[in-house]
Amino acid sequence: MDSQSNERPPVKACHVCQGARIYYLFSTSDYRVVRCDDCGLVFLNPQPSDNELARIYNANYFLGSDSEEGRHVVGEIKQATARLYLSEIRRYHGPENGRLLEVGCGDGDFLVLAEADGWQVTGVEYSAAACEKARLRLKNGEVRCGKLQQAGMPAEQFDLCVISDVLAHIRSPLDFLREIHRLLKPGGTLFVATPSIDSWSARFLRQKWMEFKAEHLTYFDRQTLQTALFKSGFHNVIVQPGWKILNFDYIQKHFERFPVPAITPALNFAARILPKRVQLRHRRMVASGIMVFSQKSEQRPQPVLSVIVPAYNEAKTFAALMDALLRKDLPGLLMEIIVVESNSADGTRQIALKYQNHPRVKLILEDQPRGKGHAVRAALEAASGDYVLIQDADLEYDLEDYDALLEQLVAGRGAFVLGSRHGGRNVMKMRQFTGHHSLSLFFNLGHRFFTTLINVLFRQRLRDPFTMFKVFRRDCLYGLEFECNRFDFDFELLIKLIRKGYRPIELPVNYRSRSFKEGKKVRMFRDPLTWLKALARLRFAKIDPMGVVGQTRAAEPVENSAKAGNPKP
Ligand SMILES: [Zn+2]
Protein backbone atom coordinates (compact mmCIF):
# COMPACT_ATOMS: atom_id res chain seq x y z
CA MET A 1 0.00 0.00 0.00
CA ASP A 2 1.60 3.28 -1.04
CA SER A 3 1.14 6.30 1.17
CA GLN A 4 -0.73 8.23 -1.52
CA SER A 5 -3.68 5.87 -1.52
CA ASN A 6 -4.06 6.49 2.21
CA GLU A 7 -4.36 10.23 1.72
CA ARG A 8 -7.74 11.91 1.73
CA PRO A 9 -7.71 14.17 -1.36
CA PRO A 10 -9.03 17.72 -0.70
CA VAL A 11 -11.46 19.39 -3.14
CA LYS A 12 -10.05 22.85 -3.89
CA ALA A 13 -12.90 24.24 -6.01
CA CYS A 14 -16.58 23.33 -6.33
CA HIS A 15 -17.06 20.52 -8.89
CA VAL A 16 -19.91 22.37 -10.63
CA CYS A 17 -19.20 26.14 -10.53
CA GLN A 18 -15.47 26.12 -9.64
CA GLY A 19 -16.27 28.48 -6.75
CA ALA A 20 -13.99 28.57 -3.72
CA ARG A 21 -16.54 29.73 -1.15
CA ILE A 22 -17.02 26.30 0.38
CA TYR A 23 -18.38 26.07 3.91
CA TYR A 24 -18.62 23.29 6.47
CA LEU A 25 -22.11 21.86 7.15
CA PHE A 26 -21.63 18.90 9.51
CA SER A 27 -19.71 15.65 9.84
CA THR A 28 -20.94 12.19 8.96
CA SER A 29 -19.02 9.09 10.06
CA ASP A 30 -15.72 10.96 10.28
CA TYR A 31 -16.14 12.87 6.99
CA ARG A 32 -16.77 16.58 6.58
CA VAL A 33 -19.87 17.48 4.55
CA VAL A 34 -19.48 20.92 2.93
CA ARG A 35 -21.62 23.16 0.73
CA CYS A 36 -20.67 25.51 -2.09
CA ASP A 37 -22.12 28.88 -1.21
CA ASP A 38 -22.36 29.89 -4.87
CA CYS A 39 -24.23 27.01 -6.52
CA GLY A 40 -25.43 24.96 -3.53
CA LEU A 41 -23.57 21.73 -4.35
CA VAL A 42 -22.98 19.55 -1.28
CA PHE A 43 -19.98 17.22 -1.14
CA LEU A 44 -17.43 15.53 1.09
CA ASN A 45 -14.24 17.50 1.64
CA PRO A 46 -11.70 16.03 1.88
CA GLN A 47 -12.81 12.89 0.05
CA PRO A 48 -12.14 9.40 1.46
CA SER A 49 -8.80 7.91 0.46
CA ASP A 50 -8.47 5.23 -2.23
CA ASN A 51 -7.83 2.63 0.46
CA GLU A 52 -10.88 3.63 2.46
CA LEU A 53 -13.04 3.34 -0.65
CA ALA A 54 -11.51 -0.02 -1.58
CA ARG A 55 -12.45 -1.35 1.86
CA ILE A 56 -16.04 -0.16 1.35
CA TYR A 57 -16.32 -1.65 -2.16
CA ASN A 58 -15.34 -5.15 -1.08
CA ALA A 59 -16.69 -8.26 -2.77
CA ASN A 60 -19.90 -8.06 -0.72
CA TYR A 61 -20.79 -4.48 -1.71
CA PHE A 62 -23.34 -5.47 -4.33
CA LEU A 63 -24.97 -8.27 -2.37
CA GLY A 64 -27.13 -5.94 -0.28
CA SER A 65 -27.94 -8.71 2.21
CA ASP A 66 -26.20 -11.33 4.33
CA SER A 67 -28.60 -14.23 3.74
CA GLU A 68 -29.38 -16.18 0.57
CA GLU A 69 -33.10 -15.40 0.91
CA GLY A 70 -32.36 -11.71 1.48
CA ARG A 71 -30.19 -11.60 -1.64
CA HIS A 72 -33.02 -13.12 -3.67
CA VAL A 73 -35.39 -10.40 -2.50
CA VAL A 74 -32.85 -7.65 -3.22
CA GLY A 75 -32.32 -9.13 -6.68
CA GLU A 76 -36.06 -9.02 -7.37
CA ILE A 77 -36.28 -5.43 -6.22
CA LYS A 78 -33.33 -4.40 -8.39
CA GLN A 79 -34.89 -6.07 -11.43
CA ALA A 80 -38.23 -4.40 -10.88
CA THR A 81 -36.51 -1.01 -10.62
CA ALA A 82 -34.46 -1.73 -13.76
CA ARG A 83 -37.69 -2.56 -15.63
CA LEU A 84 -39.17 0.75 -14.50
CA TYR A 85 -36.07 2.65 -15.65
CA LEU A 86 -36.16 0.96 -19.06
CA SER A 87 -39.77 1.94 -19.67
CA GLU A 88 -39.13 5.56 -18.57
CA ILE A 89 -36.07 5.74 -20.84
CA ARG A 90 -38.27 4.56 -23.72
CA ARG A 91 -40.65 7.45 -23.14
CA TYR A 92 -37.80 9.94 -23.40
CA HIS A 93 -35.54 8.30 -25.96
CA GLY A 94 -38.19 7.02 -28.34
CA PRO A 95 -38.73 3.55 -29.78
CA GLU A 96 -35.39 3.03 -31.60
CA ASN A 97 -32.88 0.60 -30.12
CA GLY A 98 -29.15 0.77 -30.59
CA ARG A 99 -25.97 0.57 -28.56
CA LEU A 100 -26.29 1.00 -24.82
CA LEU A 101 -23.51 1.72 -22.32
CA GLU A 102 -24.02 1.28 -18.62
CA VAL A 103 -21.27 2.64 -16.38
CA GLY A 104 -21.22 0.99 -12.98
CA CYS A 105 -23.29 -1.97 -14.12
CA GLY A 106 -22.73 -4.04 -10.95
CA ASP A 107 -23.92 -7.64 -11.37
CA GLY A 108 -25.65 -6.66 -14.61
CA ASP A 109 -29.29 -6.55 -13.48
CA PHE A 110 -30.11 -3.67 -15.80
CA LEU A 111 -28.00 -4.92 -18.73
CA VAL A 112 -29.72 -8.33 -18.74
CA LEU A 113 -33.12 -6.69 -19.10
CA ALA A 114 -31.90 -4.14 -21.65
CA GLU A 115 -30.39 -6.94 -23.75
CA ALA A 116 -33.69 -8.81 -23.66
CA ASP A 117 -35.34 -5.58 -24.74
CA GLY A 118 -33.25 -5.47 -27.92
CA TRP A 119 -30.35 -3.22 -26.94
CA GLN A 120 -26.76 -4.08 -27.86
CA VAL A 121 -25.22 -3.65 -24.42
CA THR A 122 -21.80 -2.75 -23.01
CA GLY A 123 -21.08 -2.47 -19.30
CA VAL A 124 -18.21 -0.88 -17.40
CA GLU A 125 -17.71 -1.97 -13.80
CA TYR A 126 -15.04 -1.23 -11.23
CA SER A 127 -15.49 -4.37 -9.12
CA ALA A 128 -13.83 -7.41 -10.70
CA ALA A 129 -16.16 -9.84 -8.89
CA ALA A 130 -19.25 -8.04 -10.20
CA CYS A 131 -17.77 -7.95 -13.73
CA GLU A 132 -17.41 -11.75 -13.70
CA LYS A 133 -21.04 -12.23 -12.66
CA ALA A 134 -22.37 -9.76 -15.18
CA ARG A 135 -20.41 -11.45 -18.01
CA LEU A 136 -21.91 -14.83 -17.16
CA ARG A 137 -25.43 -13.43 -17.27
CA LEU A 138 -25.21 -11.63 -20.64
CA LYS A 139 -25.71 -13.34 -24.04
CA ASN A 140 -23.81 -11.04 -26.42
CA GLY A 141 -23.07 -7.99 -24.33
CA GLU A 142 -19.57 -7.19 -23.18
CA VAL A 143 -18.40 -5.98 -19.76
CA ARG A 144 -15.19 -4.00 -19.28
CA CYS A 145 -13.53 -4.06 -15.91
CA GLY A 146 -12.08 -0.84 -14.47
CA LYS A 147 -12.76 2.87 -14.54
CA LEU A 148 -14.57 4.52 -17.46
CA GLN A 149 -11.80 7.00 -18.31
CA GLN A 150 -9.26 4.17 -18.44
CA ALA A 151 -11.36 2.03 -20.78
CA GLY A 152 -10.22 4.24 -23.70
CA MET A 153 -13.29 3.56 -25.84
CA PRO A 154 -13.62 5.25 -29.25
CA ALA A 155 -15.81 8.37 -29.45
CA GLU A 156 -19.45 8.65 -30.60
CA GLN A 157 -20.47 5.01 -30.54
CA PHE A 158 -23.40 4.81 -28.08
CA ASP A 159 -27.05 5.81 -28.50
CA LEU A 160 -27.82 5.61 -24.82
CA CYS A 161 -25.78 5.76 -21.63
CA VAL A 162 -27.14 4.75 -18.24
CA ILE A 163 -25.56 5.72 -14.91
CA SER A 164 -27.70 4.52 -12.06
CA ASP A 165 -26.52 5.28 -8.52
CA VAL A 166 -23.02 5.98 -9.80
CA LEU A 167 -22.54 9.73 -10.14
CA ALA A 168 -22.44 10.33 -6.37
CA HIS A 169 -19.47 7.93 -6.16
CA ILE A 170 -17.27 9.69 -8.73
CA ARG A 171 -14.32 11.79 -7.57
CA SER A 172 -14.61 14.31 -10.39
CA PRO A 173 -18.19 14.20 -11.68
CA LEU A 174 -17.88 16.77 -14.49
CA ASP A 175 -14.88 15.02 -16.06
CA PHE A 176 -16.89 11.81 -15.89
CA LEU A 177 -19.92 13.41 -17.59
CA ARG A 178 -17.65 14.89 -20.29
CA GLU A 179 -16.21 11.44 -21.00
CA ILE A 180 -19.76 10.11 -21.42
CA HIS A 181 -20.50 13.05 -23.71
CA ARG A 182 -17.53 12.00 -25.86
CA LEU A 183 -18.72 8.39 -26.06
CA LEU A 184 -22.31 9.23 -27.04
CA LYS A 185 -23.40 9.70 -30.65
CA PRO A 186 -24.69 13.20 -31.52
CA GLY A 187 -28.15 13.53 -29.99
CA GLY A 188 -27.58 10.44 -27.83
CA THR A 189 -29.47 10.01 -24.55
CA LEU A 190 -28.02 10.05 -21.04
CA PHE A 191 -30.03 8.63 -18.16
CA VAL A 192 -28.90 9.42 -14.61
CA ALA A 193 -30.43 8.07 -11.40
CA THR A 194 -28.92 9.58 -8.29
CA PRO A 195 -29.83 10.62 -4.74
CA SER A 196 -31.05 14.20 -4.52
CA ILE A 197 -30.56 16.46 -1.57
CA ASP A 198 -33.86 18.21 -2.28
CA SER A 199 -35.83 14.95 -2.00
CA TRP A 200 -38.44 14.63 0.74
CA SER A 201 -36.40 12.06 2.65
CA ALA A 202 -33.33 14.35 2.72
CA ARG A 203 -35.41 17.24 3.99
CA PHE A 204 -37.13 15.04 6.54
CA LEU A 205 -34.11 13.12 7.88
CA ARG A 206 -31.60 16.01 7.52
CA GLN A 207 -28.17 14.93 8.81
CA LYS A 208 -29.51 11.41 9.35
CA TRP A 209 -30.39 11.05 5.64
CA MET A 210 -29.58 7.48 4.58
CA GLU A 211 -27.61 8.68 1.53
CA PHE A 212 -24.96 10.45 3.61
CA LYS A 213 -22.19 7.88 3.58
CA ALA A 214 -18.48 7.74 2.91
CA GLU A 215 -18.74 6.37 -0.63
CA HIS A 216 -21.16 9.12 -1.72
CA LEU A 217 -18.72 11.90 -2.51
CA THR A 218 -21.11 14.39 -4.14
CA TYR A 219 -24.74 15.21 -3.30
CA PHE A 220 -26.57 16.79 -6.22
CA ASP A 221 -30.03 18.27 -6.30
CA ARG A 222 -32.26 19.09 -9.26
CA GLN A 223 -30.52 22.38 -9.92
CA THR A 224 -26.87 21.44 -9.42
CA LEU A 225 -27.27 18.29 -11.53
CA GLN A 226 -28.91 20.21 -14.39
CA THR A 227 -26.07 22.73 -14.26
CA ALA A 228 -23.47 19.95 -14.22
CA LEU A 229 -25.13 18.42 -17.30
CA PHE A 230 -25.32 21.78 -19.08
CA LYS A 231 -21.64 22.42 -18.44
CA SER A 232 -20.69 18.97 -19.74
CA GLY A 233 -22.56 19.47 -23.02
CA PHE A 234 -26.02 18.01 -22.37
CA HIS A 235 -29.36 19.71 -22.99
CA ASN A 236 -33.09 18.95 -23.12
CA VAL A 237 -32.94 17.89 -19.49
CA ILE A 238 -35.95 16.41 -17.74
CA VAL A 239 -35.91 15.61 -14.04
CA GLN A 240 -38.43 13.14 -12.67
CA PRO A 241 -38.90 11.89 -9.12
CA GLY A 242 -36.69 8.84 -8.61
CA TRP A 243 -39.26 6.07 -8.53
CA LYS A 244 -37.92 2.82 -7.18
CA ILE A 245 -39.49 -0.50 -6.48
CA LEU A 246 -39.01 -1.30 -2.81
CA ASN A 247 -40.72 -3.33 -0.14
CA PHE A 248 -41.14 -2.89 3.59
CA ASP A 249 -38.63 -5.58 4.43
CA TYR A 250 -35.89 -3.87 2.40
CA ILE A 251 -36.51 -0.49 4.02
CA GLN A 252 -36.61 -1.97 7.52
CA LYS A 253 -33.32 -3.83 6.96
CA HIS A 254 -31.77 -0.63 5.65
CA PHE A 255 -32.68 1.34 8.76
CA GLU A 256 -31.46 -1.52 10.92
CA ARG A 257 -28.03 -1.16 9.29
CA PHE A 258 -28.10 2.66 9.43
CA PRO A 259 -30.17 3.49 12.51
CA VAL A 260 -32.18 6.73 12.72
CA PRO A 261 -33.80 7.69 16.04
CA ALA A 262 -37.58 7.10 16.15
CA ILE A 263 -37.68 5.64 12.62
CA THR A 264 -35.62 2.50 13.23
CA PRO A 265 -37.55 1.48 16.39
CA ALA A 266 -40.89 2.20 14.68
CA LEU A 267 -39.94 0.04 11.67
CA ASN A 268 -38.65 -2.74 13.94
CA PHE A 269 -41.94 -2.72 15.79
CA ALA A 270 -43.93 -2.83 12.54
CA ALA A 271 -41.75 -5.72 11.34
CA ARG A 272 -42.89 -7.79 14.33
CA ILE A 273 -46.62 -7.24 13.75
CA LEU A 274 -47.00 -7.04 9.94
CA PRO A 275 -47.64 -10.30 8.05
CA LYS A 276 -44.62 -11.47 6.02
CA ARG A 277 -46.41 -11.23 2.66
CA VAL A 278 -47.22 -7.56 3.33
CA GLN A 279 -43.59 -6.92 4.17
CA LEU A 280 -42.44 -8.46 0.90
CA ARG A 281 -44.99 -6.78 -1.40
CA HIS A 282 -43.36 -4.57 -4.03
CA ARG A 283 -44.28 -0.91 -3.90
CA ARG A 284 -43.41 1.89 -6.29
CA MET A 285 -42.15 4.81 -4.25
CA VAL A 286 -40.03 7.92 -4.34
CA ALA A 287 -37.42 7.58 -1.64
CA SER A 288 -34.41 9.79 -2.00
CA GLY A 289 -33.52 10.27 -5.61
CA ILE A 290 -34.18 11.70 -9.03
CA MET A 291 -34.21 10.28 -12.55
CA VAL A 292 -32.69 12.66 -15.06
CA PHE A 293 -32.92 12.39 -18.84
CA SER A 294 -30.80 14.49 -21.19
CA GLN A 295 -29.36 14.58 -24.68
CA LYS A 296 -25.90 15.25 -26.00
CA SER A 297 -25.94 18.71 -27.55
CA GLU A 298 -23.70 20.16 -30.22
CA GLN A 299 -20.89 22.18 -28.72
CA ARG A 300 -20.73 25.70 -30.08
CA PRO A 301 -17.43 27.54 -30.39
CA GLN A 302 -18.99 30.48 -28.52
CA PRO A 303 -22.17 30.59 -26.45
CA VAL A 304 -25.03 32.78 -27.70
CA LEU A 305 -27.32 35.12 -25.79
CA SER A 306 -30.82 35.71 -27.18
CA VAL A 307 -32.18 39.11 -26.15
CA ILE A 308 -35.95 39.20 -26.53
CA VAL A 309 -37.51 42.61 -27.10
CA PRO A 310 -41.32 42.74 -27.10
CA ALA A 311 -42.20 46.09 -28.72
CA TYR A 312 -45.67 47.55 -28.69
CA ASN A 313 -46.21 51.32 -28.86
CA GLU A 314 -42.65 52.10 -27.84
CA ALA A 315 -41.75 54.50 -30.68
CA LYS A 316 -40.13 56.97 -28.29
CA THR A 317 -37.56 54.58 -26.83
CA PHE A 318 -37.31 51.68 -29.29
CA ALA A 319 -34.55 52.96 -31.59
CA ALA A 320 -32.40 54.09 -28.65
CA LEU A 321 -32.71 50.65 -27.08
CA MET A 322 -31.88 48.82 -30.33
CA ASP A 323 -28.82 50.96 -30.98
CA ALA A 324 -27.64 50.47 -27.40
CA LEU A 325 -28.14 46.70 -27.73
CA LEU A 326 -26.26 46.49 -31.01
CA ARG A 327 -23.39 48.49 -29.49
CA LYS A 328 -23.32 46.31 -26.36
CA ASP A 329 -20.26 44.10 -26.16
CA LEU A 330 -20.44 40.94 -24.07
CA PRO A 331 -17.00 39.35 -23.71
CA GLY A 332 -17.10 35.67 -24.65
CA LEU A 333 -20.71 35.73 -25.84
CA LEU A 334 -22.43 36.36 -29.16
CA MET A 335 -25.77 38.18 -29.13
CA GLU A 336 -28.89 37.71 -31.24
CA ILE A 337 -31.78 40.14 -30.81
CA ILE A 338 -35.32 38.94 -31.33
CA VAL A 339 -37.84 41.75 -31.73
CA VAL A 340 -41.55 41.00 -31.63
CA GLU A 341 -43.52 43.94 -32.94
CA SER A 342 -47.26 43.65 -32.33
CA ASN A 343 -48.65 46.10 -34.92
CA SER A 344 -48.24 49.25 -32.86
CA ALA A 345 -50.31 52.33 -33.60
CA ASP A 346 -47.50 54.80 -32.93
CA GLY A 347 -45.01 53.94 -35.68
CA THR A 348 -42.89 51.42 -33.74
CA ARG A 349 -43.32 48.98 -36.65
CA GLN A 350 -41.76 51.38 -39.17
CA ILE A 351 -38.77 51.85 -36.89
CA ALA A 352 -38.48 48.09 -36.28
CA LEU A 353 -38.49 47.38 -40.02
CA LYS A 354 -35.27 49.41 -40.36
CA TYR A 355 -33.48 46.71 -38.35
CA GLN A 356 -34.99 43.83 -40.34
CA ASN A 357 -31.87 43.06 -42.37
CA HIS A 358 -29.35 43.38 -39.60
CA PRO A 359 -27.48 40.04 -39.35
CA ARG A 360 -27.96 39.87 -35.58
CA VAL A 361 -31.64 40.83 -35.53
CA LYS A 362 -34.64 38.53 -36.02
CA LEU A 363 -37.87 40.46 -36.50
CA ILE A 364 -41.22 38.83 -35.78
CA LEU A 365 -44.28 40.80 -36.88
CA GLU A 366 -47.58 40.06 -35.17
CA ASP A 367 -50.84 41.00 -36.95
CA GLN A 368 -52.33 42.36 -33.79
CA PRO A 369 -51.33 42.86 -30.15
CA ARG A 370 -52.11 39.72 -28.15
CA GLY A 371 -50.29 40.65 -24.99
CA LYS A 372 -46.67 40.76 -23.94
CA GLY A 373 -46.71 37.12 -22.87
CA HIS A 374 -47.81 36.06 -26.34
CA ALA A 375 -45.04 38.12 -27.91
CA VAL A 376 -42.37 36.68 -25.61
CA ARG A 377 -43.54 33.14 -26.30
CA ALA A 378 -43.31 33.74 -30.04
CA ALA A 379 -39.77 35.04 -29.54
CA LEU A 380 -38.78 32.07 -27.39
CA GLU A 381 -39.76 29.74 -30.24
CA ALA A 382 -37.43 31.60 -32.57
CA ALA A 383 -34.58 31.91 -30.05
CA SER A 384 -31.49 29.78 -30.59
CA GLY A 385 -29.26 31.11 -27.81
CA ASP A 386 -27.84 29.21 -24.87
CA TYR A 387 -29.09 32.01 -22.63
CA VAL A 388 -32.19 34.19 -22.86
CA LEU A 389 -32.73 37.71 -21.58
CA ILE A 390 -36.06 39.51 -21.81
CA GLN A 391 -35.62 43.25 -22.29
CA ASP A 392 -38.64 45.55 -22.31
CA ALA A 393 -38.38 48.09 -25.12
CA ASP A 394 -38.91 51.01 -22.79
CA LEU A 395 -35.40 51.11 -21.32
CA GLU A 396 -36.60 50.71 -17.76
CA TYR A 397 -33.54 48.57 -17.18
CA ASP A 398 -29.92 49.41 -17.64
CA LEU A 399 -27.86 47.46 -20.19
CA GLU A 400 -24.82 47.83 -17.96
CA ASP A 401 -26.39 45.23 -15.68
CA TYR A 402 -26.25 42.46 -18.32
CA ASP A 403 -22.66 41.45 -17.57
CA ALA A 404 -23.17 40.74 -13.87
CA LEU A 405 -26.41 38.81 -14.50
CA LEU A 406 -24.91 36.68 -17.26
CA GLU A 407 -21.77 35.94 -15.31
CA GLN A 408 -23.84 33.97 -12.80
CA LEU A 409 -25.18 31.74 -15.58
CA VAL A 410 -21.91 31.27 -17.42
CA ALA A 411 -20.10 30.29 -14.20
CA GLY A 412 -22.88 27.83 -13.36
CA ARG A 413 -23.89 29.39 -10.05
CA GLY A 414 -27.48 29.23 -11.17
CA ALA A 415 -29.71 28.72 -14.19
CA PHE A 416 -32.05 31.57 -13.70
CA VAL A 417 -31.28 35.12 -12.49
CA LEU A 418 -33.72 37.84 -11.52
CA GLY A 419 -32.71 41.49 -11.68
CA SER A 420 -33.95 42.80 -8.38
CA ARG A 421 -35.27 46.33 -8.28
CA HIS A 422 -34.45 46.63 -4.61
CA GLY A 423 -30.97 48.08 -4.47
CA GLY A 424 -28.09 46.35 -2.77
CA ARG A 425 -28.81 48.10 0.51
CA ASN A 426 -32.56 47.70 0.64
CA VAL A 427 -33.30 50.94 -1.17
CA MET A 428 -36.89 50.85 -2.35
CA LYS A 429 -36.45 52.10 -5.88
CA MET A 430 -39.60 50.65 -7.21
CA ARG A 431 -42.85 52.50 -7.60
CA GLN A 432 -41.97 55.88 -6.27
CA PHE A 433 -44.46 57.70 -8.44
CA THR A 434 -43.86 61.38 -7.92
CA GLY A 435 -46.93 63.09 -6.49
CA HIS A 436 -48.82 59.82 -5.98
CA HIS A 437 -47.93 58.88 -2.43
CA SER A 438 -51.05 56.86 -1.65
CA LEU A 439 -50.66 55.01 -4.95
CA SER A 440 -47.05 54.14 -4.07
CA LEU A 441 -48.10 52.89 -0.67
CA PHE A 442 -50.85 50.73 -2.14
CA PHE A 443 -48.50 49.14 -4.65
CA ASN A 444 -45.76 48.56 -2.14
CA LEU A 445 -48.15 46.87 0.28
CA GLY A 446 -49.50 44.68 -2.51
CA HIS A 447 -45.96 43.85 -3.54
CA ARG A 448 -45.04 42.82 0.01
CA PHE A 449 -48.15 40.69 0.42
CA PHE A 450 -47.69 38.75 -2.82
CA THR A 451 -43.93 38.41 -2.33
CA THR A 452 -44.52 36.79 1.07
CA LEU A 453 -47.19 34.53 -0.35
CA ILE A 454 -44.90 33.33 -3.13
CA ASN A 455 -42.04 32.75 -0.72
CA VAL A 456 -44.24 30.65 1.55
CA LEU A 457 -45.92 28.67 -1.23
CA PHE A 458 -42.74 27.89 -3.15
CA ARG A 459 -40.22 27.83 -0.32
CA GLN A 460 -38.19 30.76 -1.63
CA ARG A 461 -36.64 33.84 -0.10
CA LEU A 462 -37.19 36.28 -2.95
CA ARG A 463 -37.37 40.00 -2.49
CA ASP A 464 -38.70 40.99 -5.87
CA PRO A 465 -40.37 38.11 -7.71
CA PHE A 466 -42.28 40.57 -9.91
CA THR A 467 -39.29 41.96 -11.74
CA MET A 468 -39.53 41.54 -15.49
CA PHE A 469 -35.77 41.47 -15.83
CA LYS A 470 -35.07 37.76 -16.11
CA VAL A 471 -32.07 35.98 -17.53
CA PHE A 472 -32.01 32.20 -17.79
CA ARG A 473 -30.55 29.26 -19.66
CA ARG A 474 -32.84 28.51 -22.58
CA ASP A 475 -32.65 24.82 -21.75
CA CYS A 476 -34.61 25.50 -18.55
CA LEU A 477 -37.74 25.83 -20.68
CA TYR A 478 -37.51 22.30 -22.09
CA GLY A 479 -40.63 20.31 -21.36
CA LEU A 480 -42.58 23.28 -19.99
CA GLU A 481 -45.79 24.58 -21.53
CA PHE A 482 -46.94 28.16 -21.18
CA GLU A 483 -50.40 29.54 -21.67
CA CYS A 484 -50.39 33.08 -20.26
CA ASN A 485 -50.55 35.83 -22.87
CA ARG A 486 -50.38 38.99 -20.90
CA PHE A 487 -48.21 40.32 -18.10
CA ASP A 488 -49.05 37.21 -16.11
CA PHE A 489 -46.62 35.34 -18.37
CA ASP A 490 -43.69 36.74 -16.37
CA PHE A 491 -45.19 35.22 -13.35
CA GLU A 492 -46.01 31.89 -14.99
CA LEU A 493 -42.43 31.64 -16.22
CA LEU A 494 -41.00 32.33 -12.76
CA ILE A 495 -43.19 29.79 -11.01
CA LYS A 496 -42.81 27.02 -13.56
CA LEU A 497 -39.03 27.37 -13.42
CA ILE A 498 -39.09 27.23 -9.62
CA ARG A 499 -41.30 24.15 -9.76
CA LYS A 500 -38.87 22.53 -12.21
CA GLY A 501 -36.24 22.78 -9.47
CA TYR A 502 -34.35 25.97 -10.26
CA ARG A 503 -33.51 28.38 -7.45
CA PRO A 504 -33.56 31.93 -8.79
CA ILE A 505 -30.60 34.13 -7.94
CA GLU A 506 -31.49 37.77 -7.27
CA LEU A 507 -29.04 40.52 -8.17
CA PRO A 508 -29.63 44.25 -7.81
CA VAL A 509 -30.18 46.12 -11.09
CA ASN A 510 -30.72 49.74 -12.00
CA TYR A 511 -34.39 50.35 -12.58
CA ARG A 512 -36.22 53.58 -13.34
CA SER A 513 -39.86 53.50 -12.41
CA ARG A 514 -42.19 55.10 -14.90
CA SER A 515 -45.41 56.74 -13.84
CA PHE A 516 -48.63 55.63 -15.45
CA LYS A 517 -48.62 58.76 -17.57
CA GLU A 518 -45.49 57.55 -19.34
CA GLY A 519 -47.39 54.52 -20.53
CA LYS A 520 -47.00 51.83 -17.90
CA LYS A 521 -49.19 49.08 -19.19
CA VAL A 522 -49.17 46.77 -16.25
CA ARG A 523 -51.47 47.24 -13.30
CA MET A 524 -49.91 44.57 -11.19
CA PHE A 525 -52.24 44.46 -8.25
CA ARG A 526 -55.29 45.99 -9.82
CA ASP A 527 -57.12 42.77 -9.39
CA PRO A 528 -55.80 40.83 -6.37
CA LEU A 529 -58.40 38.07 -6.70
CA THR A 530 -57.24 37.19 -10.20
CA TRP A 531 -53.69 37.02 -8.91
CA LEU A 532 -54.63 34.78 -6.02
CA LYS A 533 -56.45 32.43 -8.37
CA ALA A 534 -53.49 32.38 -10.76
CA LEU A 535 -51.14 31.61 -7.88
CA ALA A 536 -53.25 28.73 -6.65
CA ARG A 537 -53.49 27.32 -10.17
CA LEU A 538 -49.75 27.52 -10.72
CA ARG A 539 -48.98 26.02 -7.33
CA PHE A 540 -51.13 22.95 -7.77
CA ALA A 541 -51.34 22.43 -11.53
CA LYS A 542 -49.63 19.25 -12.64
CA ILE A 543 -46.29 19.81 -14.32
CA ASP A 544 -45.43 16.90 -16.57
CA PRO A 545 -42.36 17.64 -18.72
CA MET A 546 -42.11 14.00 -19.84
CA GLY A 547 -45.69 14.10 -21.08
CA VAL A 548 -44.95 17.31 -23.01
CA VAL A 549 -41.85 15.75 -24.58
CA GLY A 550 -43.84 12.62 -25.43
CA GLN A 551 -46.42 14.70 -27.29
CA THR A 552 -43.71 16.64 -29.12
CA ARG A 553 -42.06 13.39 -30.22
CA ALA A 554 -45.35 11.88 -31.34
CA ALA A 555 -46.07 14.98 -33.43
CA GLU A 556 -42.84 14.98 -35.38
CA PRO A 557 -41.26 12.52 -37.83
CA VAL A 558 -38.94 9.95 -36.26
CA GLU A 559 -35.75 11.21 -37.92
CA ASN A 560 -36.15 14.57 -36.18
CA SER A 561 -36.87 13.16 -32.79
CA ALA A 562 -33.21 13.27 -31.77
CA LYS A 563 -33.35 17.02 -31.67
CA ALA A 564 -36.66 17.94 -30.14
CA GLY A 565 -35.13 21.29 -29.33
CA ASN A 566 -37.69 23.99 -28.73
CA PRO A 567 -40.44 23.56 -26.20
CA LYS A 568 -43.79 24.10 -27.84
CA PRO A 569 -45.77 26.72 -26.01
ZN1 LIG B 1 -20.48 25.62 -6.69
**Sequence-ordered list of residues with C-beta below 8 angstroms from that of 305, at least 6 positions apart, any chain:** 330, 333, 334, 335, 336, 385, 386, 387, 388, 389, 406
63: DSSP letter: T
Give the per-residue pLDDT at 422.
67
The Å distance, Cα 506 to ligand 1 centre, comes to 16
- Rg for the chain, CA atoms, rounded: 26
Please give the Cα distance from 227 to 225 (Å, whole number). 5
Q: Report the distance separating Cα 245 and Cα 118, nearest Å.
A: 23
pLDDT lower than 50: segments of the chain: 1, 424-431, 515-522, 558-569
* C-alpha of residue 275 to centroid of ligand 1, in Å: 47
Ligand 1 midpoint to CA 305 (Å): 22
Q: What is the model's pLDDT at position 428?
A: 47
User: Distance from the CA of 324 to the center of ligand 1, in angstroms?
Assistant: 33
- Taking the centre of ligand 1 as the mean of its atom positions, its distance from the CA of residue 259, in whole angstroms, is 31
Helix (H) or strand (E) holding 153: none
Buried residues in 85-119 as b, exposed as e (16+ CB within 10 A): bbebbeebbbeeeebbbbbbbbbbbbbbbbbeeeb
Q: Count CB neighbours of 356 within 10 A.
A: 11
What's the gap in Å between 11 CA and the centre of ligand 1?
12
Determine the pLDDT at residue 357.
Answer: 94
CA of 21 to the centre of ligand 1 (A): 8
**Ligand 1 center–CA 34 separation, angstroms:** 11
Per-residue model confidence (pLDDT) at position 527: 65
Provide the pLDDT for residue 429: 47
Q: Provide the pLDDT for residue 526.
A: 59
Going from the Cα of 503 to the center of ligand 1, the distance in angstroms, rounded, reads 13
Check if the beta carbon of residue 212 is closer than 8 Å to that of residue 28: yes
pLDDT of residue 310: 93
Q: What is the whole-number distance in angstroms between the Cα of residue 238 and the centre of ligand 1?
A: 21
Q: What is the per-residue pLDDT for 79? A: 86
Sign of the Cα torsion 380, 383, 385, 388 reads negative
Q: Compute, in angstroms, the gap from residue 42 CA to the centroid of ligand 1.
A: 9
Contact predicate 287/244, CB 8 Å: yes
**Ligand 1 centroid to residue 22 C-alpha, Å:** 8
- What is residue 521's predicted lDDT score, i.e. its pLDDT? 44
How many angstroms does the Cα of residue 217 sit away from the middle of ligand 1?
Answer: 14
Per-residue model confidence as pLDDT tens digits over 324-380: 999 999 999 999 999 999 999 999 999 999 999 999 999 999 999 998 899 999 999
CA distance 430 to 428: 6
The neighbourhood of ligand 1, an ion, using CB within 5 A, equals 14, 16-17, 19, 36, 38-39, 41
Q: How far is CA 445 from the centre of its chain?
A: 33
- What angle, 0 to 180 degrees and rounded to 10, lies between the N-to-C axes of helices 109-116 and 128-137? 20
What is the Å distance from ligand 1's center to 501 Cα?
Answer: 16
Give the Å distance between the CA of 388 and the centre of ligand 1. Answer: 22
